[in-house]
Amino acid sequence: MTVTTLGQLRRAALRLPEVGEGTHHGMIAFAVRGRGFLAVTDDRVVQVQLPDDLVDRTLQTHPTAEPLLRMGARVGVAVPLAGLGGQELNQLVRASWEHVAPKRLVAATRAAEASTEHGLPAGIGRPATRALLAAGITTLDEVAQRTDAELLALHGVGPRAVRVLRETIAGEG
């Protein structure tokens, strides 16, 4: 297994809708709409909030994992970053985000991911597609009404996605 890096964790968290990065008690932390779901200690231990069933499963599958307690109650797990593979990290980050994010945002994100009935080009990538669909932008006409700055402000939409969108719009006249 290759060592998972803080950069990979950061990308996994920030590609999810409405996630911001900050600090919490001196740790690198990620939140969705102001609600924290993930933090990393100075010694690179990932703390994720999870529902009880996923806490149990994670504790069983990761021998280095420990329960994360708040006021005596289990609220998630703490796992050394070095003990996680890339896919495992992505799954934990996503599960934690889904556990903490508003249910409507989770439902909209899942629907956007499942939908293939939109007018957005596949070349922009899945994170950009999710971000646009979550923002209610489902067609190239709606993209054309937005400035590049507005599009880039959406988590998951980067310069490459904006370039592909603009080229597609120009190509279709």
**Cα separation, 32 vs 16, whole angstroms:** 9
Predicted pLDDT of residue 3: 57
Residue 79 tokens read as 């796992």
Contact 154, 131 (CB under 8 A): yes
Residue 126 zone, left/alpha/beta (φ > 0; ψ -120 to 50; rest): alpha
Q: Are residues 11 and 95 in the same domain?
A: yes
Predicted pLDDT of residue 2: 53
Q: Are residues 123 and 39 in the same domain?
A: no
Q: Are residues 45 and 88 in the same domain?
A: yes
- Average pLDDT along the chain, 173 residues, taken 10 residues at a time: 78 92 95 96 95 94 92 94 88 95 89 69 85 85 93 91 91 72
End position of a domain, from candidates 56, 78, 101: 101
Q: How many domains would you assign to the chain?
A: 2
Q: Which domain holds residue 89?
A: 6-101
pTM of the shown model: 0.68
End position of a domain, from candidates 42, 71, 101: 101
Tell me if residue 73 falls in helix, strand or coil: strand
End position of a domain, from candidates 74, 101, 128: 101
Residue 102 tokens read as 């508003």
What is the CB neighbour count within 10 angstroms for residue 161? 24
Residue 121 tokens read as 């080009």
**Cα separation, 99 vs 51, whole angstroms:** 7
Predicted pLDDT of residue 125: 86
Predicted pLDDT of residue 46: 95
Predicted pLDDT of residue 115: 60
Residue 23 tokens read as 């600090």
Q: Are residues 16 and 93 in the same domain?
A: yes
